[in-house]
Amino acid sequence: MAVSYPNQYRNYCSFDEHVYKRAEKGEQQLPVIKEELNHPKNEEQVIEDLFVLNLMLDKGVEKSKIADLYPELSKYNNTKSPNVQTFLAGIYRKTKIPDAFGPLVKMLIQDSVNTHKDTHFDPTEEIGGAILDYIA
């Protein structure tokens, strides 16, 4: 798969070049991502799709087009995966989907009570930052 997880030397995921090429295709990738989020093969595929959505937002794809995927994105609101949480929080931070505020708060509380000791980064940073952007 195209994802390399954080490790003791790097506190972020890295991705193969083809992932960046997917993002360059812009809106035409949205139906593919929607299908993959509805029927993912594994967590790596979800992380890749979320990363592509983040890149698309950075490249100027309309926020509303990404926000339209909220039904698919919300399926991951209860995840315990710090990687999925981080990318999901990034998307919610950039799109400010109103329905996503509550799940972000829930993630923050969940992660504060049950810290991720096996990760090399703190997902609560991105989640907290997203919440602060909503409040601002």
| Whole-number average pLDDT of the chain | 92
Neighbours of 134 (CB within 10 A): 16
CA distance 25 to 90: 20
What does the DSSP 8-state code read for residue 54? H
**Range picked from 12-21, 53-62, 114-123 for highest mean pLDDT:** 53-62
Q: What percent of the chain has pLDDT over 70?
A: 96
Task: Please give the model's pTM, rounded to 2 decimal places.
Answer: 0.92
Q: CB–CB of 32/73 below 8 Å? A: no
Q: Using CA atoms in the order 11, 12, 13, 14, what is the torsion angle rounded to 10 degrees?
A: -100
Question: Tens of pLDDT along 29-88?
Answer: 999 999 999 999 999 999 999 999 999 999 999 999 999 999 999 999 999 999 999 999
Tokens matching residue 98: 């109103």
